[in-house]
Structure 1
């Protein structure tokens, strides 16, 4: 099982010190604006880029190490993190360079061999990019490196907020760009076209759920167009019930388009090892939020799911044990899980969302 078991982070944005946060298959982060929920999502994106050898590019896009370290390089000298997947794990310590990047002070694997004890194979220091993939190619700790790389590279951080006229999800794309659903669903048309042909049962289920939330929706219209170069392009078109006229994605509301992206991500045949979504409820109708809650619960039976939310309605779709409350204390983000027994008397009279609104759970909503 490649789900994250525990997570430790120090020195990353508002996360000054987070030690051994336990993660289950379903994790729902709640908290006020600025508490640090989005920084958790950004952390997962950073580590995904790091193991692919793209750390310096990612840091540059953030504006340099000074923007990544908690309150800048004058306040924080290093970024450290430890990820545990039960018996396997990955640890790094990064320090800023004079040109605004990061250098690895340490990079190590972790393996608990039970009777043989714990080993911590070192992957080097002084490098600007991760040595994890190099270790997979024949190092003495190849199996541990292979496990950790596949687990981390298998994460998918989805962000479907951009539904502007120039958003990738509304443009034509190459039919062959369909191996996985991209972070912003820019290849949604190509991905659905592949499912239509290779996984018709999953395609039918996606269409069925979309029709529940969008009653006038009938089906997608996915017709590849061949260019002179013989490349095939496809656009996400759709049609209404009792009509064969193909409509453009811009003729769907922003919330409807985001819902289609979410349904596809959560119902895809081969789910990522861990799915991370920041505020998936944005722009959704209350009934669509109810459907979304059911989809998230269902997906968490096949993969690990981590979401952050500001929605009382979405919060009501989960159990109190699923929650991770994020607060700000002493200018840093703090994270805590809740014990259902501590709130049993409250739960007899109130929903989880109502308890959050009353600030009984912490993480005061905005």
Structure 2
């Protein structure tokens, strides 16, 4: 949406009817609200997409708001409705708009563009997270969780982040009672690669591989790592 290619995205994936619950006869619109909160203020972005002729979705509502924590009133800005693409993209470029409005729009646009979307749905046997990963790919958790082993290895080996690693282990044990700990080490065949190996808490002599983790447990491992990682490693605003 924040690149001006919403209509292309919809068309490539079966048009608007495919995005609406039981189709456009049952569901006519999609509504969403995103809130960005820090110690100083709260920024909100909300929009409504409505089914229209040609099996497309158009913006029938797009609202921005900005609320300082020290001010009881919010500053609200309504953008132009009935457009195919987000009016926010054009609003920040218009020279004749109110300066305060443009500042609010620019801040929210930047926040939205800085969002990083994570999808941990691919847990098939061919998924990257189940294979051997490059051990130096560990600066941030990738959007598909494919570098989970390398990222966890980095946290485990660093004394400053080791407590976070142990927190991950404790949370995983709550949903996977047989889980003891990860067995993270560079591959014997190639020291540049690492796999998400683990051991059972009742039988540490047997080494399990990533192919022996259920889909649900693997998704939880990725999600727990994303949400419980150190604040210093948070790269962007995250949407899962």
- 1:142–1:121 Cα change, 3 Å: farther
- 1:133–1:191 Cα change, 3 Å: farther
Normalised TM-score (structure 2): 0.61
- 1:189–1:216 Cα change, 3 Å: closer
State the alpha-carbon separation in 2 of the partners of residues 173 and 202 from structure 1: 21
Cα deviation, residue 91, structure 1:
3.2
- 1:87–1:268 Cα change, 3 Å: closer
Q: Does 1:190 align with 2:140?
A: no
The counterpart of 1:65, out of the listed 9, 13, 16, is: 16
Counterpart of 1:260 in 2: which secondary structure?
helix
Counterpart of 1:217 in 2: which secondary structure?
strand
For residues 36-185 of structure 1, the aligned pairs below 5 Å read 50-51=1-2, 55-56=6-7, 58-60=9-11, 62-69=13-20, 72-73=23-24, 78-83=29-34, 87-96=42-51, 100-105=55-60, 107-112=62-67, 114=71, 118-120=75-77, 122=79, 126-128=83-85, 131-132=88-89, 135=92, 140=99, 141-147=102-108, 149-150=110-111, 154=115, 159=120, 162-174=122-134, 175-176=136-137, 178-182=139-143, 184-185=144-145
Counterpart of 1:250 in 2: which secondary structure?
helix
Superposed CA offset, 1:61-86 (max 9, x none) = 65221222455445666544455568
Superposed CA offset, 1:290-322 (max 9, x none) = xxxxxxxxxxxxxxxxxxxxxxxxxxxxxxxxx
State the alpha-carbon separation in 1 of the partners of residues 230 and 72 from structure 2: 38
Q: Does 1:250 align with 2:178?
A: no
In the alignment, structure 1 segments of 5+ residues that lack a partner are 1-49, 277-366
For residues 222-237 of structure 1, the aligned pairs below 5 Å read 222-223=185-186, 233-237=193-197
RMSD (CA atoms): 4.6
Counterpart of 1:120 in 2: which secondary structure?
strand
Cα deviation, residue 221, structure 1:
1.6
- 1:99–1:237 Cα change, 3 Å: farther
Cα deviation, residue 120, structure 1:
0.9
The counterpart of 1:238, out of the listed 189, 198, 208, is: 198
For residues 277-292 of structure 1, the aligned pairs below 5 Å read none
Residues 48, 60 of structure 2: 8 Å contact kept: yes
State the alpha-carbon separation in 1 of the partners of residues 239 and 156 from structure 2: 23
Superposed CA offset, 1:255-289 (max 9, x none) = 5434433432342223786776xxxxxxxxxxxxx
State the alpha-carbon separation in 2 of the partners of residues 56 and 226 from structure 1: 47
How many residues get paired? 220
For residues 17-32 of structure 1, the aligned pairs below 5 Å read none
State the alpha-carbon separation in 2 of the partners of residues 248 and 131 from structure 1: 47
State the alpha-carbon separation in 2 of the partners of residues 133 and 172 from structure 1: 44
The equivalent of 2:169 in structure 1 is: 207
Residues 65, 74 of structure 2: 8 Å contact kept: no
- 1:217–1:251 Cα change, 3 Å: same
Residues 183, 196 of structure 2: 8 Å contact kept: yes
More RCO (CA 8 Å, sep 6+): 1
Cα deviation, residue 170, structure 1:
0.6
